[in-house]
């Protein structure tokens, strides 16, 4: 069940999201779209952090995103992308009109049954659905701890799994790949990043301040981050490939 308040939290941000959230490794796109295709749709495209990697991978790159502030950043950054304000549950495209649908860091916000039906409708026969998530690398204890503060519900889990289900209605699961990479990040940018995360956006001021204080405490005490202005942040990018059944 999607938490609507969290899903809609992106309606209030745009520029900060684009500035502070991590991008995605080009290796993910090499894996997903090894040969150029006719049309690719990036669904839940946000400010275009994944969409921008799709240039040159398809004759037509389409973005669908419900948040106007997020879409405004995407349109300014990527004027050649065919951008639509809409949701995954009601995609404003013709039947069988795209070869690939990508969803980066957003599939967990969709109504899974309705979105899968819409994605299957717009995909050409044999087309692929590709789900991408960046997640904390278990190798980084301090980042894992920070994630536990931001997402206490995930703490019950070991925090290393993404939100993908291996079974999606109307699709056949093809592959799961993981790409490990490292981002060099300033302490201030790392803290700012958390302010773009849904649980921080919807928290009241006192709760948000307490969450920031807890993360600062981790950074001030962990041997890898204590006294440092820059950190090496290991990230795992999960890529899940499905084919239209
Ligand atoms: C964490 S952001 C990811 C944005 C972008 N794909 C990226 O990787 O930077 C999640 C995005 O999903 C969008 N979103 C939430 N519910 C959605 C829905 N039902 N259909 C399509 N997009 C949705 C949000 O507006 C937000 O832009």
pLDDT digits 0-9 by tens, 98-156:
999 999 999 999 999 999 999 999 999 999 999 999 999 999 999 999 999 988 776 54
**Is residue 147 in contact with ligand 1, taking CB distance under 6 Å?**
no
**123 occurs within a structural domain:** yes
* Buried b / exposed e along 205-225 (16+ C-beta atoms within 10 A): eeebeebbeebeebbeebeeb
How many Å apart are CA 26 and CA 34, to the nearest integer? 11
User: Domain range for residue 111?
Assistant: 4-137+158-182+234-244
How many Å apart are CA 245 and CA 123, to the nearest integer? 11
How many Å apart are CA 48 and CA 54, to the nearest integer? 10
Q: Report whether pLDDT(162) > 60.
A: no
Q: What is the pLDDT of residue 224?
A: 95
Instruction: Provide, rounded to the nearest whole percent, the portion of the chain with pLDDT above 70.
Output: 93
Minimum-distance ligand 1 atom for the alpha carbon of 110: 19
**166 occurs within a structural domain:** yes
**173 occurs within a structural domain:** yes
Take residue 223 and report the two structure tokens written for it: 């041997």
Q: Return the residue whose CA atom lies nearest to atom 4 of ligand 1.
A: 46
Q: What is the pLDDT of residue 163?
A: 55
**Is residue 105 in contact with ligand 1, taking CB distance under 6 Å?**
yes
**77 occurs within a structural domain:** yes
- Least-confidence region, from 81-95, 162-176, 222-236: 162-176
The confidence band for 160, taking pLDDT boundaries of 50, 70 and 90, is very low
Instruction: Return mean pLDDT, the chain.
Output: 92
The domain that holds 54 is classified in CATH as 3.40.50.150
**Is residue 67 in contact with ligand 1, taking CB distance under 6 Å?**
yes
**Is residue 45 in contact with ligand 1, taking CB distance under 6 Å?**
yes
Higher pLDDT, 117 or 157: 117
Polymer length of the chain: 245
Contacts of residue 172, defined as CB under 8 A and 6 or more positions apart, other chains included, come to 242, 243, 244, 245
Tens-digit pLDDT profile for residues 51-104: 999 999 999 999 999 999 999 999 999 999 999 999 999 999 999 999 999 999
**72 occurs within a structural domain:** yes
How many Å apart are CA 245 and CA 233, to the nearest integer? 38
**Is residue 109 in contact with ligand 1, taking CB distance under 6 Å?**
yes
Q: Return the residue whose CA atom lies nearest to atom 8 of ligand 1.
A: 104
The confidence band for 164, taking pLDDT boundaries of 50, 70 and 90, is low
What pTM was estimated for this model as a whole? Answer: 0.91
The confidence band for 15, taking pLDDT boundaries of 50, 70 and 90, is confident
Q: What is the pLDDT of residue 158?
A: 39
Name the residue of 44, 72, 112, 117 whose CB sits within 8 Å of the most ligand 1 atoms, as the mutation to test its pocket. Answer: 44
**Is residue 49 in contact with ligand 1, taking CB distance under 6 Å?**
yes
**Alpha-helix residue ranges (DSSP H) falling in the chain:** 4-7, 15-20, 26-32, 68-77, 112-122, 141-150, 152-155, 187-194, 198-202, 205-221
Count of structural domains within the chain: 1
Q: What is the pLDDT of residue 16?
A: 87
Q: What is the pLDDT of residue 217?
A: 97
Dihedral, CA of residue 47, residue 49, residue 52 and residue 54, to nearest 10: -120
**196 occurs within a structural domain:** no
Residue 90: DSSP 8-state: B
How many Å apart are CA 135 and CA 239, to the nearest integer? 11
**197 occurs within a structural domain:** no
How many Å apart are CA 1 and CA 109, to the nearest integer? 9
**213 occurs within a structural domain:** no
CB-CB contact of 130 with 240 (8 Å) = yes
Q: What is the pLDDT of residue 216?
A: 97
Take residue 232 and report the two structure tokens written for it: 């090496």
């Amino acid at each position: 069940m999607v938490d609507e308040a969290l899903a809609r939290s992106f309606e209030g941000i745009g520029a900060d999201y684009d500035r502070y959230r991590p991008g995605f490794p080009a290796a993910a796109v090499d894996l997903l779209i090894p040969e150029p295709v006719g049309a690719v749709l990036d669904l839940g495209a946000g400010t275009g952090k994944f969409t921008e990697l799709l240039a040159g991978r398809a004759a037509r790159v389409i973005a669908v995103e419900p948040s106007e502030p997020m879409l405004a950043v995407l349109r300014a950054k990527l004027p050649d992308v065919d951008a639509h304000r809409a949701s995954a549950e009601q995609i404003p495209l013709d039947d069988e009109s795209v070869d690939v649908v990508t969803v980066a860091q957003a599939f967990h916000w969709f109504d899974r049954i309705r979105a899968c039906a819409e994605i299957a409708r717009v995909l050409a026969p044999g087309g692929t659905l590709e789900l991408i998530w960046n997640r904390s690398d278990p190798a980084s204890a301090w980042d894992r701890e920070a994630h536990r503060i931001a997402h206490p519900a995930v703490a019950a889990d070991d925090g290393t799994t993404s939100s993908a289900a291996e079974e999606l209605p109307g699709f056949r699961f093809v592959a799961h790949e993981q790409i490990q990479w490292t981002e060099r990040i300033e302490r201030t940018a790392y803290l700012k990043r958390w302010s773009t995360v849904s649980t921080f956006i919807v928290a009241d001021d006192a709760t948000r301040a307490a969450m920031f204080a807890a993360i600062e405490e981790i950074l001030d005490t962990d041997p890898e981050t204590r006294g440092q202005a820059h950190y090496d942040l290991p990230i795992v990018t999960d890529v899940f490939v499905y084919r239209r059944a």
